[in-house]
Chains A and B, each alone.
Chain A
Amino acid sequence: MLEIKQLHKSYPIGDSHLHVLKGINLLVKEGEMVAIMGSSGSGKSTLLNIIGMLDHADSGDYILDGLPIKNLTEKKAAEYRNKFLGFIFQSFNLINYKNAMENVALPLYYQGMKRKERQELAMFHLEKVGLADWAHHLPKELSGGQNQRVAIARALAANPKLLLADEPTGALDMSTSYEIMEFIQQLNDEGKTILMVTHEEDIANMCKRIIRLRDGVIMEDTTIKQVRAKQHV
């Protein structure tokens, strides 16, 4: 599904550089559910953004589903993001003047799907996250958990192979977090590959594999027994 070799990334800070990723090697197979952990500033988001083609690596190889991701034009990158990737952000990143359904339909719009189909599909996904009745509400009229579910529906809309989530439960209270995790686990059960950045051990334990970053490298990479979120709800 995803293969990363000797990935480096540094940020210019004044005259010097902050070397954040110092040679990451990572292999993720289809159907995996991986938690990326590490202390604040260890480069978790940086890694996820590079995987999501929102940012570029300085050097190293990155192959996604057999496609080498290197020197892409922004147009190609946008197409790949649209086709292969779904994003879930800590702060939801919904467009605030669009209602839930329109937000979910947006990736489909960029795929060139017809309006009618798009709305039907968006409704289908909203139903899946249990928000069919809220389809015509604006983000500000929804709770944090509901907004994150809209964001999940949006990430799923284009049927991506890989779901990238940067602290999806970071802004939510515990019970809502578990609710969201339940959805994500369900998606993984259905075969979606999931990469998730998190701070919280209990959330990480709901994945199937935990990667720990430190000093710019993967310090620990363990396969665990998944804790089902349902037990906590």
Chain B
Amino acid sequence: MVKIFGFLFDKDTWQEVQGSLKKNTLRSILTMVGVWWGILLLIGLLGSARGIENNFNVLFEDFATNSVFVGGGKTSMPFKGYEEGRPVILRLDDVKKVEENVEGIELVVPRIMGNAVLSRKIFSGSFNTTGDFPILNEVAKPDLTLGRFINQSDIDEQKKVVVISEDVYKQLFEKDEDPIGELISVSKTNFKVIGVFKLVNFGGPQLDVHMPFTTFQQLYNRGDRIDWMMITGKPEYNINQVEADVKLLLKNLKKVNPNDNRAFFGFNLGDRFSQFTGFLKGMQFLTWFVGIATLIAGVFAIGSILLITVKERTKEIGIRRALGATPIMIKRQIIVESVTLAIIAGFIGIISGGVILMLINNAMLNSNEPWMRNPSVSIGMVFLSLLIVVILGTLIGLIPANKATSVKPIDALREE
């Protein structure tokens, strides 16, 4: 090994390389631009993909991804004397039954939804409202920007308090006004604002106003009816199985035909999540593919530039061979040249790629709706792309090197 690679530690090798690269400025620059562009694209794309993934992970962080929503719909089949088209109504005690009877359940959170006109001073607007328990925090933690969420004493005392979304805040309050402790009217009843949260939505209705479950029951006179339940499975259980078990139990309880698929609606967040991760994986793959394809295209371009310049260079190589350079010496010099170019260009590519990711990051930090978070590439990827560059550099170098040493010295010398 030392014998083969010893020349790399020889100052003269580098002097030769430097001399040749400096003299052939245009060729050097063209080669570098090709590699630089490929690496830049690779890093930029990979970093962006990572940024999108990070953002997505943060969004989902507050959600139990191993969860499913189940709500009552209408039956679509007759069963045990009941006609089809009967509404299926879920109640609070169903929550308990699900909790007790379905295997693999971690939490069941009942939810109820209504609609109300919210107003304050001259402002007003119509929004969806929900009645919630503090336990919602554990499955779909609202991203609070101000104040607090509903607590147990709010529930116990049926307090008239609301946690509002930023959209509501914007509609009912002046800019920079502190909403906490302010009163707003919800369906003509005064409620105190205790918190503001940022909306995160994965489909379904936009839920802008949270109030204590018990308060909601009273306000809307709903009794113990609920609209749907959010069910999270234990990590070791398959959420699809849990969903099926829950539905089966509920069909039993509500006397619904076991084959009736319309009686309950379900929204499986776990499914959604894996769809998203699948999409991200696909995107990452595509990124690698595009990046590497760009690099290879760059290499082909460089290869042909080099092949053209080999002709111009053949005479010099002929001279060197006449003076006693062996083919190995010639080859390794040309390879070291192109690898050096590739590495320098690769580094510049990595650095400028990093700068671009930083700029994107800044733009995202200043943006109202960032769709990327912390776009970055791992050290491993950086090294991998450098490795690719080095391998490609060697391959690029091999083309002219082989060409330059495959002819007789005299034929190389004759080249003008």
Contacts and interface: CB of A to CB of B under 8 A. Distances in A.
A178 interface: no
B184 to A, nearest CB: 80
B20 A110 contact: no
Contacts of B323: 81-82, 87, 106-107, 110, 154
Interface of A: 49, 52-56, 74-75, 78-79, 81-83, 87, 89, 93-98, 102, 106-107, 109-111, 115, 154, 158
B316 interface: yes
B310 interface: no
A158 B110 CA distance: 93
B405 interface: yes
Contacts of B326: 74-75, 78-79, 110
A110 B19 contact: no
Nearest to B7: A112
Interface residues of B, number: 26
A81 B322 contact: yes
A106 B320 contact: yes
B324 A98 contact: no
Contacts, number: 69
A104 to B, nearest CB: 10
A82 B409 CA distance: 13
Contact of A109 (B12, B315, B316, B327): B12
Contact of B410 (A54, A74, A83, A97): A54
A139 to B, nearest CB: 12
Nearest to B13: A109
Contacts of B20: 97
A214 to B, nearest CB: 22
A197 B22 CA distance: 36
A165 to B, nearest CB: 13
B410 A78 contact: no
A107 B329 CA distance: 12
B328 A75 contact: yes
B413 interface: yes
Nearest to B406: A74
Nearest to B316: A95
A111 B23 contact: no
A94 B20 CA distance: 14
